[in-house]
Amino acid sequence: MKHVVIVGADRGIAASLVQEYLARGERVTAVCRDAGEAWQDESNVRVVPSTDVTDDSAVARMTDEIGDDPIDLLIHVAGVGSRERWQEFDFETMLAHYNLNALGPLRVISALSDQFVEGAKIGIVTSRMGSIGDNGTGGMYSYRMSKAAANMLGVNLYHEFRPRGIHVMLLHPGTVATQMTRGARNWDAMTKPAEAAAGLARQMDGLGPDSPPRFRHQDGTSLPW
């Protein structure tokens, strides 16, 4: 039984990842910003509540709660979207997005660094919106910019952890029907969180010692940086 840590596990894609790894028979630590009530009755889930990944002291508390429990796999999912219009920028909010989408995974993964076993796998859910090569429409300034920074973080982590035999992958879940996308056109037709989670877990399955740094869609497509 592997120890899997899912960060941002209150709802959405992260909650489905908790379900996916439970169904696979793994032991899951669900790091939640809220109380993690959804997981209270699951015997194979340890909830680490009240973990806002933008808050240094909350992340330090999370590290204490996980203690010296070795980690085989971690997926950082917590994130926030944005839709600014040109020249209608709220820079404080944009900084908060950067703090969550780019610095959140750095804060969490750096704090847990000593717990990753040799052969451990780390996934960061960024977004295709953070791809420079795939940006065909513009817009979504702080979302695109902070997710591009998260992709850069992932490649840095790849180099950082490679000597320890720890593998890192950047992940795009597809366009998924969650709270983040609610209200968008065709919401009902979007990929369901459980399907996205199964695909993301499959990408993590394929991650190994010989993998170069990759940015993968949950359907297996390689995305441009």
Residues that bind ligand NAP (CB under 6 A): 8, 10-14, 33-34, 52-54, 77-81, 100, 125, 127, 172-173, 175-176, 178-181
Cβ proximity of 116 and 73 under 8 Å: no
Closest listed residue to residue 201, CA positions, set 40, 35, 18 = 18
CA dist., res. 21 & res. 89, Å (int): 39
Query: Which of 3/79 has CB closer to ligand NAP?
Result: 79
At its nearest, how many Å lie between ligand NAP and the CB of residue 9?
Answer: 6
Q: Reduce the DSSP state of residue 130 to 3 states and report it.
A: helix
| Phi and psi torsions of 71, nearest 5° | -110, 130
Query: Which of 127/142 has CB closer to ligand NAP?
Result: 127
| Phi and psi torsions of 138, nearest 5° | 75, -165
Query: Which of 8/123 has CB closer to ligand NAP?
Result: 8
At its nearest, how many Å lie between ligand NAP and the CB of residue 165?
Answer: 27
CA dist., res. 144 & res. 125, Å (int): 13
At its nearest, how many Å lie between ligand NAP and the CB of residue 82?
Answer: 10
Query: Which of 33/121 has CB closer to ligand NAP?
Result: 33
Q: Reduce the DSSP state of residue 3 to 3 states and report it.
A: strand
CA dist., res. 148 & res. 33, Å (int): 23
Query: Which of 34/65 has CB closer to ligand NAP?
Result: 34
At its nearest, how many Å lie between ligand NAP and the CB of residue 16?
Answer: 8
Which H helix or E strand runs over 44?
A: none
